[in-house]
Structure 1
Amino acid sequence: MRIIAGTAGRLAIKVPKAVARPTTDFVRQAIFSILGPTVEDSSVLDLFAGSGAIGLEALSRGAASCVFVDEHRQAETVIRENLTKAKLTGGRVIRADVHAWLAKDMATYDLIFADPPYAKFPGERDHLKELLANPALPPRLAPGGWFIGECSSSSRSPEGPGWALQDRREYGGSAILLYAAAPAS
């Protein structure tokens, strides 16, 4: 696993063993190609951060700041190590449950990424669907910002109040979902 482009481009990063499925280089490249120059000077929130690969990529490509949130101690340690190794500034690492942290956070972000564990079987917890239903998430998105979620390509695109799905792109077993704030009715 590596950072693809920007100031830390081509740098190999660590992945915590607790993270079973980090976002692949190919999928990250696709995400950042879609976002293009909107990443520069943006404030980023990386939920279910794991190795921090998405937020690290954003910082490397010119994001002003990134808050990494993951509940696993090993993820927290690895993200800090990756930030130091990549010599990237503007990163803040939070070890907390995503939903509990969102309920307390008052900041807004231009880009919010969420790559939670996939719901693979009927009845399994669907973290992305829960996140889209969480009333604490929409106020975190800055006007004109994007919420980018990742789920299994075999899953339907989850919906949530306050969100409008703008695009869905599939790459192998992963689907990238781009949401904007739903227009007020």
Structure 2
Amino acid sequence: MRRTLLFLSLFAIGSRSTHAQVLTDATRASAALDSLLQAAAATKQQVQTHSSRFATKTPWSGKRRQRVRGFAPGASARFTWEQKTVLRRNGTTATRFTALQNGKRVLRERRLNGQLEYLWLKTDPSPSPATASTTPAPAGPAPGTYGVLLHGGYLRWNRNQYVLPSTAVPGTTR
């Protein structure tokens, strides 16, 4: 019994380590980066164009902090996207963008002085039958798309992990 469990645990560990290989090929990593950026831009455009109205909120420190929310048509309290901009005292500008579809977060984007710092994209693997029949097919990324871009040049696109070449990393000059 113990041998069987040991064998199965080693088999499970071995199968996980094969997926953890990092690809360092510059052309494949750049292609994955382009695919992720295009999918994120398509998702962002789709969410922003389908919002019926947007509202801004600037507190007493409105010169430094701004929040803009876009709302879904027919739903007054449910926002579909949100952008927060903070102008810091040292002169830097931090921007965060969040997009939601069907109440789930699908896109997170963080920029510092306009340079992309962090990007997270995850689309629903299978749209619900109720929304699939009532809404047209989106022009964005394919269902089940997943991608993460970190500041250091590390990229995960669907099931593959990449290390970007230093010239292709957005926002850095290594």
- Normalising by structure 2, we get a TM-score of 0.23
Q: As a proportion of its length, which structure holds more strand?
A: 2
Q: Which has the larger radius of gyration?
A: 2
Q: Which has the higher contact order (CA 8 A, sep 6+)?
A: 2
Normalising by structure 1, we get a TM-score of 0.22
